[in-house]
């Protein structure tokens, strides 16, 4: 049974690309070339949406793992570090008596936002050179886990970020573009 407007895919089809294929898709995306697949969506993974909101925005894929093109945001314009906070700050209200009067004023206090916490340093993804050339580092991958204190989602989301090797001239300046693999951790 096919739903109206859905793409026809073979029964049992699973989108399970290799790391090398993911970097090839990212290359096409960053160079403005035609994208070889439609399963990877573009999404701001480092903005105001929490991982479960992003995951829920794309139910049509229906898998436990979803892939997204995203752009990293630098902490400072000329800096080398990237922003890893996500979601909106949680707001709580409390009664305060800041002027000593009997009138209590409600104050809004912001708690910390969620954050993608790095689990490792960048690991190389190799192009095995099966076209006759020597093996080379095609790009890198980094692993992150979602952290947010006092949240039932703390530690339940995993992110793997892939980025191109800037050694190659065509990839220079493309480090801000990443392809991400977002997965909800299954309960044991």
pLDDT > 90? residue 149? no
Residue 101 belongs to some domain of the structure: no
Alpha carbons 42 and 45: distance in angstroms, whole number: 9
In a domain, 57, yes or no: yes
- Asked whether residue 5 is assigned to any structural domain, the reply reads no
* 58 falls within a domain: yes
- What phi and psi, each to the nearest 5 degrees, are found at residue 118? -65, 135
Q: Is the pLDDT of residue 2 over 60?
A: no
Residue 22 phi/psi, 5-degree rounding, is -60, -45
Dist CA 128 CA 130 (whole Å): 6
Question: Pairing between strand 91-96 and 105-110?
Answer: antiparallel
Nearest to 124 by CA among 174, 163, 168: 163
State the CATH number of the domain containing residue 152: 2.170.150.80
Phi-psi region at 84: left, alpha or beta (left = phi > 0; alpha = psi -120 to 50): alpha
What does the pLDDT look like over 12-66, one tens digit per residue? 777 889 999 999 999 999 988 999 888 899 999 998 999 999 988 877 656 789 9
pLDDT tens digit sequence for 73-127: 888 877 778 888 888 876 644 444 444 444 433 333 344 789 999 999 999 999 8
DSSP helix/strand/coil, 158? strand
Cβ contact 126:138 at 8 Å: yes
Tokens 């951790």: give the residue: 185
| 138 within domain boundaries | yes
Is 104 inside any structural domain? no
Inside any domain, residue 111: no
End-to-end alpha-carbon separation of the chain, Å? 33
* Residue 65, in any domain of the structure: yes
- The per-residue pLDDT for 9 is 66
How many folded domains does the chain comprise? 1
Confidence of residue 132 (pLDDT cuts 50, 70, 90): low
Domain that holds residue 75: 19-87+117-184
């Amino acid at each position: 049974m096919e739903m109206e407007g859905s793409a026809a895919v073979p029964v049992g089809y699973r989108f399970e690309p290799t790391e090398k294929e993911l970097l090839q898709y990212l290359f096409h995306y960053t160079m403005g070339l035609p994208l070889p697949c439609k399963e990877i969506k573009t999404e701001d993974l480092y903005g105001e949406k929490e991982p479960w909101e992003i995951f829920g925005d794309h139910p049509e894929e229906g898998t436990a793992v979803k892939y997204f093109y995203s752009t990293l945001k630098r902490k400072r314009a000329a800096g080398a570090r990237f922003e890893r906070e996500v979601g909106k700050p949680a707001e709580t209200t409390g009664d305060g008596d800041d002027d000593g009067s009997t009138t209590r004023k409600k104050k809004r206090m912001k708690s910390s936002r969620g954050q993608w916490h790095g689990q490792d340093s960048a690991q190389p993804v190799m192009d095995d050179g099966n076209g006759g050339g020597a093996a080379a580092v095609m790009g890198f991958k980094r692993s992150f886990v979602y952290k947010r204190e006092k949240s039932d989602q703390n530690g339940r989301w995993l992110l793997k970020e892939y980025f191109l090797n800037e050694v190659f001239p065509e990839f220079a300046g493309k480090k801000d573009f990443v392809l991400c693999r977002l997965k909800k951790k299954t309960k044991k």
